[in-house]
Amino acid sequence: MVARMRRFLLAICLHFCWLAPAWACVDRLQLDGDFIQGGLVHGLVEPANVRLYLDDVETVIHADGRFILGFDRDAPQQMKLQIVRSDRRECVRSLQVRKRAYDIQRIDGLPPKKVTPAAESLPRIQAEANAIKTARARVDARVDYRSGFRWPVRGPISGVYGSQRVLNGEPRRPHYGVDIAVPVGTPVAAPAPGIVTYVNPDMYFSGGTIVLDHGHGLSSSFLHLHEVQVEVGQTVDQGEVIATVGATGRVTGAHLDWRMNWRSAYIDPQLLVVPMVVKSE
């Protein structure tokens, strides 16, 4: 009984001590957004000359004190936001991240080599994975994401973020994007301004692929493209056409797969746009 009581008091103290210093060490800390797996949060900290870490991943803070944080598909339900001041004083705040239930999506009829690649394809697959990881790891001071996000194409949603994939009966990596089923040749518009950081017209799994960086570690990737119409280093405006939809890579039909990352965390694009309204003919 005494031991239980002690554990209980310790739990309260830990919780309290966890929360209290965040307010003690900065003048202001404001967080708004989706505290959910796949969610993006906008923050404001004053003073702005502090360093901020989400579970040891450092965020960029703009001169005006604004920053963003993202939660991965499998983010733990409790994450740690650590603030380090210029005088090295530190404080920590615990963030509660809501857990999601993901669908299981079964897809059959894929070419067997796209489900279980032959050994000779593995070096290519690895090289492509590294290149895209490097592009998404970019973190710079641009704040293009502040424009907000628009759908890159409009049409029926045929795949959602996070679903567990079973391809030709075999469990595979989850699906991280939102799939919009539209015909080959449909123009793909930039959902927000950005700089093109990666282009590959023919990736093993994702076919024609573009990574568009929106600043502060937030990027969009567009997969299975037919025609890529931008180059690495090019800056684009919101709504500018960057590609056309295709059926390249591991697909069963034409669609756009739009993914978003904050650093290496996969963000759910559907949480950043208004719900899709598609006119039925």
**Residue ranges that bind Zn ion, judged by CB under 5 A:** 159, 177, 179, 257
Nearest distance, CB of residue 179 and Zn ion, angstroms: 4
Nearer to Zn ion, 50 or 180 (CB): 180
Nearer to Zn ion, 177 or 215 (CB): 177
> Residue 214 corresponds to which tokens in the numbers above?
């929106």
Distance CA 195, CA 204 (A): 24
The residues near 156 (Cβ < 8 Å, ≥ 6 apart) are 180, 181, 278
Question: Can you say whether the dihedral through the CA atoms of 224, 228, 231, 236 is positive or negative?
Answer: negative
Residue nearest to Zn ion (CB): 257
Q: Phi, psi (5° rounding) for residue 15?
A: -60, -45
Nearest distance, CB of residue 244 and Zn ion, angstroms: 17
Nearer to Zn ion, 67 or 258 (CB): 258
Residue 266 is which amino acid? Y
Nearer to Zn ion, 179 or 213 (CB): 179
Nearest distance, CB of residue 223 and Zn ion, angstroms: 6
Which helix (H) or strand (E) segment is 66 a member of? strand 66-70
Nearest distance, CB of residue 148 and Zn ion, angstroms: 23
Distance CA 57, CA 38 (A): 16
Distance CA 156, CA 233 (A): 32
Nearest distance, CB of residue 241 and Zn ion, angstroms: 21
Report yes or no: 260 and 272 within 8 Å, Cβ to Cβ.
Answer: yes
Nearer to Zn ion, 72 or 257 (CB): 257
Q: Phi, psi (5° rounding) for residue 24?
A: -80, -25
Nearer to Zn ion, 159 or 174 (CB): 159
Nearest distance, CB of residue 183 and Zn ion, angstroms: 16
Report yes or no: 211 and 136 within 8 Å, Cβ to Cβ.
Answer: yes
